[in-house]
Structure 1
Amino acid sequence: MFTGIVTDIGRVRAVSQTARDRRYEIETAWDTATLDLGASVSHAGCCLTVVETGPGWFAVEVSGETLSKTTLGDWVAGTRVNLERAAKLGDELGGHIVSGHVDGLGTVTAVTPEGGSHRLTVEAPAPLHRYIAAKGSITVDGVSLTVNTVEDREFGLNIIPHTWEATTLGALKAGDPVNLEIDMLARYLARWQETA
């Protein structure tokens, strides 16, 4: 489990195809000596397992299913990636409860400066848009955010300067795909209503 609070922007240093999957090596400012093999790390909102570590880098393997359902299939050497280590019991829950399971790909439709912040507008795919509510939580590329507005399939987010600079959100532009994870409570409530 994660909180959606990004603690480093990593960088893809190498991409290779293995017999089973695609392998990414990720450079990070973290002390990778404290990163165990088998640890879960959120990469742009996608939970992946650490399979190897070295000084200042670690490696993960990604299945074809994940590559087809997330932005990870577009990663190349040099791609910047929001990173978060798994939460531990007793950690501060600064964002919201995030599973690291991407529900779908959204598309940025507008990025507009608004005071010192930026207004980000994203279109969610159907039927995922039904689970997004104003003042609810959503994860965009691994970042826990509050939904400000919802209109049909589009939703608006206010990105404060700190988040704009401390995550990869500051590089987004109209037309870019983003990984979306809806709020876990919305997912279970929707399922309950479907079966009630």
Structure 2
Amino acid sequence: MFTGIVQTKLALADVHQAQGLTTFTFEFSPHLLAGLEIGASVAINGTCLTVRTIDNNRVSFDAIAQTLKVTNLGQLQPGSVVNIERAARYGDEIGGHVVSGHVMDQVAVTDVIDSANNRVVWMERPETLAPYLLDKGFVALNGCSLTIAEVEEQRFAVHLIPETLDVTVFGEIQAGDRINLEVDAQTQAVVDTVRRLIGDQEGLKKLLQAE
């Protein structure tokens, strides 16, 4: 489990590709290394990966082909910068919202609008996930917990403050970039429940009419 509060951004130090498996290696700071053990979970651009090796400050993670297909990790090359968050611990402050690290899709950035102290990023709103991408709702983008500020039929936008731009990869994001997306689990549960109840009522109505 993660909070969606990105701790830092890091450049990929090395990538090794094998059949059906890719290994990513990063150089962690002493702060990020503190208490880290093999088998621990770390969110890389919002994707939950497991620590495979720790060699001094070099930490490696494996990703299978399916993970590379669903997320933007398959596009990473040495020097690519990603968002990093260590797994949440009991007692940690939940400053964002609960994030599982299970990316559901990638969405393309369609427009980036900068002003003096704000950046607006517009992204695709996939039809399959549109019911869960609601105005003022939570969403995790590259692992960053954000509030949706504007919604249109085929796209949605988030507004980013300077602190977010400094700490995360969103300071360098450009139109055409692909972003990992995870919808809020509570929103998904509520929407799915309501849709099921509505469907049950319509089915009951048709059954009564048939009788």
Would you say same fold, with TM above 0.5?
yes
Q: TM-score, normalised by structure 2?
A: 0.88
The Cα of 1:33 is off from its aligned counterpart by 5.4
Whether the aligned pair in 2 keeps the contact of 1:12 and 1:24 (CA below 8 Å) is: yes
1:43 equivalent in structure 2: 44
2:167 corresponds in structure 1 to 166
Q: Which amino acid aligns with 1:24?
A: F
Q: CA deviation at 1:161?
A: 0.5
- Which secondary structure does the structure 2 equivalent of 1:81 belong to? strand
Bigger shift: 63-72 or 25-34?
25-34
Residue 138 of structure 2 corresponds to residue 104 of structure 1: no
Residues 156 and 31 of structure 1, relative CA distance in 2, 3 Å threshold: closer
Q: Supply the distance in 2 between the matched residues of 1:122 and 1:91 (Cα, whole angstroms).
A: 31
SS in 1 for 2:109: strand
CA-based RMSD of the aligned residues comes to 1.3
More displaced 10-residue stretch of structure 1: 18-27 or 67-76: 18-27
User: Aligned residue for 1:138?
Assistant: 139
Using the aligned pairs only, state the percent identity. Answer: 36
In structure 2, the residue matched to 1:176 is 177
Q: How many residues are aligned here?
A: 196
Aligned to 1:23: 23
- Whether the 8 Å CA contact 1:45–1:143 is kept in 2: the answer is yes
- Cα deviation for residue 9 of structure 1 reads 1.0
Amino acid at match of 1:121: W
- Give the Cα–Cα distance (whole angstroms) in 2 for the partners of residues 23 and 105 of structure 1: 21
Cα drift, residue 193 of structure 1: 3.3
TM-score normalised by length of structure 1: 0.95
State the match for 2:200 in structure 1.
none
Q: Determine if the alignment matches structure 1 residue 93 to structure 2 residue 94.
A: yes
8 Å CA contact 1:31–1:56 kept in 2: the answer is: no
Cα deviation, residue 145, structure 1: 0.5
1:100 maps to amino acid: G
Structure 1 residue runs without a partner (length 5+)? none
Amino acid at match of 2:150: T
